[in-house]
């Protein structure tokens, strides 16, 4: 994988009119390949492995919210970054998830080529799958470099997407509680 990425980046550098042998660029294909491998490592992870059994019994059945988790992904149309925050809520059903695992779930799906809507759904479904929660809600707010650095070049628009499952979808009160708490 490293070899293929490295030679592809060499071709890109050449195609944009640069000299691959120029001093500052000699190691760039190798560095860029390593960076791209990291930014797409979500393809090589699986849910069981990252959760590592960090699921604990609890009789708390009130909503748990983890908000403002940073998110870095690559848009699947331009392979440019989109960057923002993810908020997750769930209503436990006898089991709670280790706190750090929400960030790990986000990263596992964000470090792939994505559109924001699908990323939002995949995170919600994964939380639902591992916790068996009564309800799960995920909101992502992100800025897309493909809209800022190129194309329409709009610097201030933020895309907001949400996915609600179970009680979070059915109950207006639960949904409002989540949305109110994350907007504070």
Ligand X SMILES: Nc1nc2c(ncn2[C@@H]2O[C@H](COP(=O)(O)OP(=O)(O)OP(=O)(O)O)[C@@H](O)[C@H]2O)c(=O)[nH]1
* Residue 89, helix vs strand vs coil: strand
Which residues ranging from 141 to 170 are in contact with Zn ion (CB under 5 A)? 146
List C-alpha distances in Å: 170 to 90, 96, 133.
13, 21, 14
Nearer to ligand X, 28 or 40 (CB): 40
String marking each residue 118-147 x if it binds ligand X according to CB under 6 A: --------------------------x-xx
Which residues ranging from 61 to 80 are in contact with ligand X (CB under 6 A)? 75, 77
Asked if 111 interacts with ligand X (CB under 6 A), we say no
| Cβ-contact 66, 108 below 8 angstroms | no
Cα atoms in the 13 Å half-sphere on the side-chain side of 162: 15
Q: Which of ligand X, Zn ion, none lies near 115, with the C-beta cut-off 5 to 8 A by kind?
A: ligand X
| Cβ-contact 113, 74 below 8 angstroms | yes
* Residue 73, helix vs strand vs coil: strand
Nearer to Zn ion, 134 or 144 (CB): 144
Q: Which of ligand X, Zn ion, none lies near 151, with the C-beta cut-off 5 to 8 A by kind?
A: ligand X
For residue 108, give every residue at least 6 positions away whose Cβ sits within 8 Å of its Cβ, in sequence order, or none. 42, 45, 47, 50, 126
The answer on whether 75 is annotated among ligand-binding residues is yes
Q: Which of ligand X, Zn ion, none lies near 117, with the C-beta cut-off 5 to 8 A by kind?
A: ligand X
Residue of this chain nearest to ligand X (CB atom): 151
Q: Which residues bind Zn ion (CB under 5 A)?
A: 75, 77-78, 146
């Amino acid at each position: 994988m490293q070899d293929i990425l490295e030679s592809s980046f060499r071709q890109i550098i050449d195609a944009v009119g640069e000299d691959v042998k120029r001093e500052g660029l000699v190691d760039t294909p190798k560095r860029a390949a390593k960076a791209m491998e990291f930014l797409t490592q979500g393809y090589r992870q699986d849910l069981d492995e990252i959760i590592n059994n960090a699921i604990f019994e609890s009789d708390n059945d009130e909503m748990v919210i983890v908000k403002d988790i940073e998110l870095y992904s690559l848009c699947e149309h331009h392979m440019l970054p989109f960057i923002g925050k993810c908020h997750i809520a769930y209503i436990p059903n006898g089991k709670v998830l280790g706190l750090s695992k929400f960030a790990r779930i986000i990263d596992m799906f964000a470090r792939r080529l994505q559109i924001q809507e699908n990323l939002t759904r995949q995170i919600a479904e994964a939380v639902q799958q591992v916790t068996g929660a009564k309800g799960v809600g995920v909101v992502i707010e992100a800025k897309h470099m493909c809209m800022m650095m190129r194309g329409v070049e709009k610097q201030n628009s933020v895309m907001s997407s949400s996915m609600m499952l179970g009680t979070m979808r059915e109950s207006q009160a639960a949904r409002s509680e989540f949305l109110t708490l994350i907007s504070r």
